[in-house]
Amino acid sequence: MIGNPMGQGFAETWLKAFQQFQNMDLGNAAGQAVPPIDVPQIKFTPEKLMELQQNYVRDATELWNQSLQANPSLKDRRFKGDAWAQNPLASFAAAVYLLNSRTLMAMAEAAEGDSKTKNRIRFAVEQWMAAASPSNFLAFNADAQQKAIETHGASLAKGVANMLQDAKQGHMSMTDESLFEVGKNVATTEGAVVFENEFFQLIEYKPLTDKVHEKPFLLVPPCINKFYILDLQPENSFIRYAVSQGHRTFVVSWRNPDASMEKKTWDDYIEHAAIEAIHRVQEITGQDKKGGQINALGFCVGGTILTTALAVLAARGEKPVSALTLLTTLVDFSDTGILDVFIDEAMVRYREMQMGQGGMLKGQDLASTFSFLRPNDLVWNYVVGNYLKGETPPPFDLLYWNSDSTNLPGPFYAWYLRNTYLENNLVQPGKVTVCGEKIDLRKLDLPVYIYGSREDHIVPIGGAYASTQVLPGKKRFMMGASGHIAGVINPPAAKKRSHWVRDDGKFPKSVDEWIAGATETPGSWWDDWAGWLKGHAGKQIAAPKAYGNGKQYPAIEPAPGRYVKAKA
């Protein structure tokens, strides 16, 4: 028989378990306990429960009757293989699982409570159901069983070997990592390291044009992963594209923190990395002597760091950047999407006690969190393929980069959590002090190109768009198709996806209102951005013949440098 998950007793048990989980007493290394979360009472109306129960019984009866005549039709891609269709028991188990999943998700939607708690319930149910899929277990996975029979058990042996190898390397393989090497077939754009300190290396790239724009171009990637997402392969390298457009291009390559950096703070990263990089680019290119400016781009957390650094410099009376580009960046943290389920006072206080004065957030912990935001695609898909079927995942440069994780200093991470995701302090003028200066983003009166990805689950499109309501300068907002990475790394030659823009200069409060007035154009947004940046890059001058600036900034080592090769 099909079990009925919809009784009132089940609902009460489920909610009680959820509330106990929310109120767990989390202790830190010193034995301190985080105050329990005050979880509001969650209820279901009897009418809604009755409706859900009736729908479940009706669908279960229909499924049973269908299974007596033929195997149930399975539309979920996890159960698309012929082996599922040919195995009545497996296909019926999968159909029951899908029915229960739909019902539990409907139950999560029907819960009465505040929006944050409902989002947490929804997220917990999604994780639970993703993990409980019959496809994740050899005893129920018809495809894996069929392959084991066809290979006389070789697939199972290879699956065990894959599991042992992944345990040895400390993370699940998403691609054949043996086929990639940083500096050999990813991160290959020609350049040299021209400056370094304990936080970052500054890479300058070899010009691809006889002349370059007068204003140099600095890219600040996120420090929560490695810069070569912007330089994967020559055909999809954003860095190479920028160089080909005639920009003298520099990039910050973050150091992968070790124990020597466990006390580094947000202020340290602003002062000794972002601001330092800006000043060094000015000095190397002679812009400091001319009183000139540079152009700068920040990606994801790199954009938050760069914007904060510019606000610090503005408070000091400096305006070193002519035009700013922000890619999938949060400045206003009002809309943080699914990540909001992890953030509350108790969680942030726990992290502050755990590592606010020193310690390290391991890169793999952060990578696992992001993977479980899309559990079927980025976790269980590989459990099935790697371990149950004994397959080697195909080569994919983006997933190789995704597995190349980085650590974060605890004090940096704790400050970031409280002042952005929890309290949203950066957009409150004078609320937060960074590097001794009170931050006021209203002082950043410069042209800004703001990009957001429509299906981004890390920086929601509304969160990216919110910067238009904060930054006072002349703005251009661009929405691209796809997600956090694929939307950004979309070279024109690929002729993929679409982008949306509106040229009336209007930025209504709601991103939905903006989208309603936007025009869709097939293909990449890169050329639109290049045209915009060209208008802020100054006159053309002869391209430099050498890296750096003579004896003061000689080439230290070839790009991509050694910092990016350090493993977490």
The one-letter amino acid at 49: L
Bridge partners (DSSP) of residue 500 are 479, 520
Rounded Cα distance between 207 and 194, Å, is 15
Rounded Cα distance between 553 and 138, Å, is 59
pTM: 0.90
Which residues carry out catalysis? 300
Contact status, residue 199 vs residue 257, Cβ threshold 8 Å:
no
Pairing outcome for strands 191-196 and 200-205 = antiparallel
Residue 41 is predicted with a pLDDT of 63
Residue 188 is predicted with a pLDDT of 97
Whole-Å CA distances, 82 to 76, 77, 141, 143:
13, 12, 12, 8
Residue 353 is predicted with a pLDDT of 96
- CB atoms under 10 Å from CB of 335, counted, come to 16
For 196, the 3-state DSSP assignment is: strand
Residues of the chain with pLDDT under 50: 1-37, 39
Q: CA-based diameter of the chain, in Å?
A: 83
What CATH class has 191-338+424-445+454-472+481-492+520-565?
Answer: alpha beta
Q: Which residues, other chains included, contact 28 with Cβ-Cβ below 8 Å and sequence gap of 6+?
A: 34, 350, 353, 354
Rounded Cα distance between 326 and 302, Å, is 9
For residue 97, give both structure tokens.
């699982």
Q: Which long-range contacts (CB under 8 A, 24 or more apart) does 23-27 make?
A: 26/346, 26/350
Rounded Cα distance between 127 and 69, Å, is 33
- The per-residue pLDDT for range 443-495, each reduced to its tens digit, is 999 999 999 999 999 999 999 999 999 999 999 999 999 999 999 999 999 99
The domain locations on the chain are 8-150, 191-338+424-445+454-472+481-492+520-565
